[in-house]
Amino acid sequence: MSATLLIPALLLDAAFGEPKWLWDRYPHPAVLMGRTIGWMDKRFNKGAQKRLKGTATMAALGLAALALGQLIHVIPDFGIVEVVVAAILLAQKSLVQHVQAVADALRLSTEGGRRAVSMIVGRDTATLDDPAISRAAIESAAENLSDGVIAPAFWFLIAGLPGLMLYKVTNTADSMIGHRTPRHEEFGWAAARFDDLLNLIPARLTALLLALTHGWTDPRPILRDAPLHRSPNAGWPEAAMAVILNTALSGPRAYHGELREYPWVWPEGRRDPGPDQIDAAVSALWRAWGGMLALTALIAVF
């Protein structure tokens, strides 16, 4: 049943994305999740026992997401609302649009590319040159393909809308409070660890889809480079994207004015990517999406 509902959800998201006219009038569900997490952060992230409070917060968010997903699931509407909600919580078209915007802006000017890529990455962008802008966009494409498309679809297949809702609230919490900063290292510990757990399989599935839809069948470079990433999961889609585009990714970059010497992923690849490589990454997003759609169809049939 979940696979049958996921097919139209994937197609709806790919066709319509996130209509601006709609979300200018009403808050997006992810925005509502973010507001709730922000309120809980302000309310409970203080005093002693921050890790315990953060774990309880994550548990409450997860249970609420499961309950809401189950409530929508039992609505007697032949799954229509479920399909629409799932489509809203997928992010294929919006991801493609944001990544493509970087290539389009970079073709006009470096400064325009910096502004566009600052919308999708957390690193410092003020001094990035064209290759660094391109790498940032490609890396974001790979990581967000996993977080925004493949992982939500995977958990919908596994546990229906409750599974998808649980994943989205966890991923949103991780992005907001799952940082190793003085404020959030303890309070956001549970969110970060649970997000790592929920992404364990989807991240590797994303790498597999990227590789196979481009005819890449040698797993050795991905197995070699994925563990070099600072994240236990993001390295997998990033390593796969690097090899299929023959572009070195990751490497040194600055966060909050501090240069961090991260290792290169697929160091054999070109070091001077530009808008054309971002275009290729956008094409890769669609190929991987098509692979996920085909896999879902096979599951629906068998």
Convert the pLDDT of each residue in 51-62 to its tens digit: 999 999 999 999
Range of the domain at 176: 2-301
The predicted-structure confidence for 199-245, as pLDDT tens digits, reads as follows 999 999 999 999 999 999 999 999 999 998 888 999 999 999 999 99
The predicted-structure confidence for 173-187, as pLDDT tens digits, reads as follows 999 999 989 999 999
Which amino acid appears at position 142 of this protein? Answer: A
User: Can you give the pLDDT at residue 103?
Assistant: 98
Helix axis angle, 189-198 relative to 151-177, nearest 10°? 160
Longest dimension (CA), the chain: 55
Mean pLDDT of the 52-73 span: 98
Mean of the per-residue pLDDT values for the chain? 95
User: Can you give the pLDDT at residue 256?
Assistant: 67
The predicted-structure confidence for 94-153, as pLDDT tens digits, reads as follows 999 999 999 999 999 999 999 999 999 988 888 899 999 999 999 999 999 999 999 999
Alpha helices in 91-184 (DSSP H): 92-108, 110-117, 130-145, 151-177
Q: Are 265 and 225 in contact (CB under 8 A)?
A: yes
User: Can you give the pLDDT at residue 124?
Assistant: 82
Tokens 């809308």 locate to 161
User: Within its chain, how far is the Cα of 240 from the centroid?
Assistant: 15
Own/partner pairs for 67-73, CB < 8 Å, 24+ apart? Answer: 67/162, 68/165, 69/160, 69/161, 69/162, 69/163, 69/164, 69/165, 69/166, 70/161, 70/162, 72/161, 73/160, 73/161, 73/162
Q: Is the pLDDT of residue 302 over 80?
A: yes
Task: Give the C-alpha separation, 18 to 152, whole Å.
Answer: 16
User: Can you give the pLDDT at residue 258?
Assistant: 72
Confidence label for 77 from pLDDT (cuts 50, 70 and 90): confident
Which residue in 196, 171, 146, 149 sits closest to 30, CA to CA?
A: 171
Which amino acid appears at position 256 of this protein? Answer: H
pTM above 0.75, yes or no: yes
What is the number of structural domains in the chain?
1
Task: Give the C-alpha separation, 130 to 114, whole Å.
Answer: 9
Query: Which of the pair, 255 or 300, is modelled with greater confidence?
Result: 300
Confidence label for 253 from pLDDT (cuts 50, 70 and 90): confident
The predicted-structure confidence for 139-156, as pLDDT tens digits, reads as follows 999 999 999 999 999 999
Q: Are 130 and 113 in contact (CB under 8 A)?
A: yes
Q: Is 76 exposed, middle or buried (0-12, 13-18, 19+ CB in 10 A)?
A: exposed
